[in-house]
């Protein structure tokens, strides 16, 4: 067992991510007043020990210290609480509450997709966590299923968002140099990929991807190389799976808007998702259905989204440690100065200067240049890959680091936008009948359920068939008798069994196999016109053989020996043949003469 500081002992690793390893650990003694949770000796905690290269990076250490107060004060029922931050020698560690449960990525992999209702209710709680952190000026920037842990409490599962601030801590020029891409593209918001300033709307985009993945089992833009996926985020509209009900698709589509200002605020997202869950649930009333159909009206954007201060141009790029002048004095405990909530990055009263900047990886802008690439709207404006794309690390695909040739940089050659894919035309009522009744859907859990919904303890969401959605014209009709019932029994983790309609869904196109190199002839040299030459040679050989056969098998040799001319020889040959034919005619049995006269 390895000690961490004087207060904790690492016991066993729980998992390894791109930024460090998480350990189950034990508290040795009560932590000091600097810890948010002093804890008791013997208490079990989780400790994320950041990678050595992060811990050895002076910038990261500075950020770590600076963000201490932000991380420690983030408390919400759906946020994994950070209890303490330890800096000791080469070691940087975050002490967290230990969550006894799988993360959502693993859960999805093992159990298959969620029903739309379960996905809505779960994501609504994640949106609650985002709303709380955004209100505090903190943007997660790394929202993905792997960062949502499922805590089991009183037989119910609660999504707990973790890794807050890690994306910010890991933003370091030492880790990611220009022209290197680090991250998992599947969860990168278009503005992040494009180097535009990031706001809390990147988390809403992440939430949109999360819901999509929960109901389909895969993110909307995945497969292929990192660059291909980035292209798709920038230029493709997400395809609507046939199993997603109208109101839920409205929510997903709004979250996945390319333009951040068109995405809903986290608070409105949570409200919208609960409205949808109530309206597509098994016990939905006509009014709830109606409300769900009109969910678009609830999804208003955030008028003052929290800014990510490290956005290009938001910071004084050369600042290592804050100095005097226009830069405010450095205050490690200045919680409110870490992430300005409104105004331009860096704060409206401090143009161009980010009080939290330690060493942002942005080169200094020439005087008079616009503050951010977004200001000019020119995608070719310089932007650091490292601070734009690092927010998307993913355990499943593992962090990818690949050389990016500037000439291949898709962001410098913005692809032309494709026409929007029309939503799947198949109306819900035309879907094939569901193979399984709805009562096998996972129970609808969650503390935040609407009162109108029948309380259903959340057990383990299982892969389920989707309920056929209602036709719009049916909205006015009185609700059909509820054919569905809550699950009669608890369902344990089952082996992943995608529901039939999931199986019927078109599979993502497999990455194209690299074409086999063309086979060449034994002669590796390419000789232009060789094919034609070969034909000619073959014809010559044929002629020579034919000539030789004629010479050998015909009386040509004799004729030549007799010194006959060509036409004489031909004439003689014709005469000989005609004589022979007439001889044959003379031996006709009908004439009485025969060839056997000589016998
Ligand atoms: N507070 C916690 N309690 C219990 N397990 C945890 C806790 N935090 C993380 N884990 C587990 O530890 C493993 C690694 O977590 P980590 O956050 O390092 O992964 P990651 O999200 O891929 O990392 P990164 O964000 O650095 O790419 C995961 O399997 C996760 O379930």
520 vs 542: CA distance, rounded Å: 27
> For the whole model, what pTM was predicted?
0.57
Nearest residue by C-alpha to atom 20 in ligand 1: 17
**What pLDDT was estimated at residue 529?**
54
Tally the residues of the chain.
599
Centroid of ligand 1 to alpha carbon of 108 (angstroms): 16
Q: What are phi and psi of 83, to 5 degrees?
A: -90, -35
Nearest residue by C-alpha to atom 27 in ligand 1: 18
**What pLDDT was estimated at residue 130?**
96
Atom from ligand 1 closest to the CA of residue 15: 13
**What pLDDT was estimated at residue 167?**
65
Centroid of ligand 1 to alpha carbon of 18 (angstroms): 9
Q: Is 445 in the pocket of ligand 1 (CB under 6 A)?
A: no
**What pLDDT was estimated at residue 29?**
74
Task: State yes or no: is 142 an active-site residue.
Answer: yes
- Of 172, 395, 401, which is best to mutate to test ligand 1, by the most ligand atoms within 8 angstroms of its C-beta? 395
**What pLDDT was estimated at residue 81?**
92
Contact at 8 Å (CB) between 169 and 155?
A: no
Q: What is the dihedral of CA 341, 347, 353, 359, to 10 degrees?
A: 0
**What pLDDT was estimated at residue 503?**
40
Q: Is 14 in the pocket of ligand 1 (CB under 6 A)?
A: yes
89 vs 63: CA distance, rounded Å: 16
**What pLDDT was estimated at residue 295?**
97
Nearest residue by C-alpha to atom 8 in ligand 1: 22
75 vs 38: CA distance, rounded Å: 15
55 vs 38: CA distance, rounded Å: 23
**What pLDDT was estimated at residue 221?**
93
Spatial CA neighbour of 161 closest among 138, 190, 129, 132: 129
Element holding 557 (H helix, E strand): helix 556-562
Spatial CA neighbour of 193 closest among 226, 148, 240: 226
127 vs 135: CA distance, rounded Å: 12
Spatial CA neighbour of 178 closest among 12, 403, 441, 430: 403
Q: Is 381 in the pocket of ligand 1 (CB under 6 A)?
A: no
As given in the structure block, the two tokens for residue 150 are 């499922």
- Of 162, 165, 169, 183, which is best to mutate to test ligand 1, by the most ligand atoms within 8 angstroms of its C-beta? 162
Work out the number of other CB atoms within 10 angstroms of the CB of residue 3.
Answer: 13
Contact at 8 Å (CB) between 487 and 436?
A: no
Atom from ligand 1 closest to the CA of residue 98: 3
Nearest residue by C-alpha to atom 14 in ligand 1: 15
What are the b/e assignments for 269-282, b being 16+ CB within 10 Å?
bbbbbbbbbbbbbb
How many Å separate Cα 32 from the centre of its chain? 41
Instruction: Write out 443-487 in H/E/C secondary structure.
Output: CCCCCCCCCCCCCCCCCCCCCCCCCCCCCHHHCCCCCCCCCCCCC
Q: What pLDDT tens digit does each residue of the chain (599 aa) get?
A: 677 777 899 999 998 887 789 999 998 877 777 777 777 788 999 999 988 888 888 877 887 777 777 788 889 999 999 998 888 888 888 899 999 999 999 999 999 999 999 999 999 999 999 999 999 888 888 899 999 999 988 888 899 999 886 766 665 444 443 344 445 689 989 998 888 888 999 999 999 999 999 999 999 998 888 888 888 999 999 999 998 999 999 999 999 999 999 999 999 999 999 999 999 988 999 999 999 999 999 999 998 898 876 543 333 222 222 222 222 222 222 222 222 222 333 332 322 223 222 222 323 333 333 333 333 333 333 333 333 333 333 333 333 333 344 444 333 333 333 333 333 333 333 233 233 333 333 433 333 333 333 333 334 444 443 333 333 333 333 333 333 333 333 333 333 333 444 444 444 555 555 554 444 444 444 445 556 678 878 889 999 998 888 888 877 777 777 777 767 877 887 888 888 888 887 654 444 433 333 33
Spatial CA neighbour of 442 closest among 459, 421, 466: 459
């Amino acid at each position: 067992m390895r000690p961490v500081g004087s207060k904790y002992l690492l016991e066993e690793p729980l998992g390894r991510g791109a930024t460090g390893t998480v350990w189950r650990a034990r508290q040795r003694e009560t932590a000091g007043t600097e810890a948010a949770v002093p804890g008791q000796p013997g208490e079990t905690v989780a400790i994320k020990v950041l990678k050595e290269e992060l811990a050895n990076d002076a910038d990261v250490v500075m950020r770590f210290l600076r963000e201490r107060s932000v991380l420690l004060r983030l408390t919400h029922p759906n946020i994994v609480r950070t209890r303490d931050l330890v800096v000791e020698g080469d070691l940087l560690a975050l002490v967290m509450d230990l969550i006894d449960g799988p993360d959502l990525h693993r859960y999805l992999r093992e159990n298959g997709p969620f029903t739309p209702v379960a996905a809505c209710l779960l994501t609504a709680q994640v949106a609650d966590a985002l709303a709380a952190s955004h209100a505090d000026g903190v943007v997660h920037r790394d929202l993905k299923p792997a960062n949502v842990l499922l805590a089991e409490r009183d037989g119910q599962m609660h999504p707990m968002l973790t890794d807050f601030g890690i994306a910010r801590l890991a933003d370091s020029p030492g880790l990611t140099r220009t022209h290197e891409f680090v991250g998992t593209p599947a969860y990168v918001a278009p503005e992040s990929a494009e180097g535009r300033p990031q706001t809390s709307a990147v988390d809403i985009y992440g939430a949109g991807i999360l819901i999509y993945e929960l109901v389909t089992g895969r993110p909307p833009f995945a497969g292929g190389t990192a660059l291909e996926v980035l292209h798709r985020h920038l230029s493709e509209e997400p395809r609507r799976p046939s199993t997603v009900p109208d109101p839920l698709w409205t929510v997903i589509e709004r979250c996945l808007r390319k333009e951040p200002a068109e995405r809903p605020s986290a608070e409105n997202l949570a409200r919208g998702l609960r409205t949808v869950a109530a309206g597509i649930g098994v016990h939905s009333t006509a009014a709830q259905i109606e409300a769900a159909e009109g969910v678009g009206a609830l999804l208003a954007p955030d008028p003052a989204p929290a800014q990510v201060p490290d956005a290009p141009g938001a910071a004084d790029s050369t600042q290592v440690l804050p100095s005097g002048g226009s830069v405010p004095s450095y205050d490690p405990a200045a919680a409110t100065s870490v992430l300005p909530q409104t105004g331009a990055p860096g704060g409206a009263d401090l143009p161009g200067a980010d009080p939290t900047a330690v060493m942002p990886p942005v080169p200094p802008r020439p005087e008079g240049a616009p503050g951010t690439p977004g200001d000019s709207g020119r995608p070719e404006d310089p932007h650091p890959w490292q601070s734009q794309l690092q927010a998307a690390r993913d355990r499943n695909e593992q962090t990818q680091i690949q050389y990016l040739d500037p000439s291949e940089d898709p962001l410098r050659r913005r692809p032309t936008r494709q026409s929007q894919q029309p939503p799947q035309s198949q109306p819900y009522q035309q879907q094939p009948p569901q193979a399984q009744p709805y009562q096998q859907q996972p129970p609808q859990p969650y503390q935040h359920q609407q009162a109108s919904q029948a309380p259903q303890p959340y057990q383990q969401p299982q892969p389920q068939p989707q309920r056929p959605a209602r036709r719009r014209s049916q909205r006015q009709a009185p609700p059909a008798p509820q054919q569905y019932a809550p699950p009669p029994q608890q369902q344990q983790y089952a082996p992943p069994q995608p529901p039939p309609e999931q199986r019927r869904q078109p599979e993502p196109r497999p990455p194209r196999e690299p074409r086999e190199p063309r086979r060449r002839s034994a002669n590796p040299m390419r000789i232009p016109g060789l094919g034609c030459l070969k034909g000619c040679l073959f014809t010559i050989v044929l002629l020579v053989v034919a000539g030789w056969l004629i010479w050998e098998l015909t009386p040509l040799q004799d004729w030549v020996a007799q010194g006959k001319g060509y036409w004489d020889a031909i004439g003689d040959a014709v005469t000989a043949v005609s004589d022979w034919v007439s001889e044959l005619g003379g031996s006709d049995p009908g004439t009485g003469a025969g060839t056997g006269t000589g016998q």
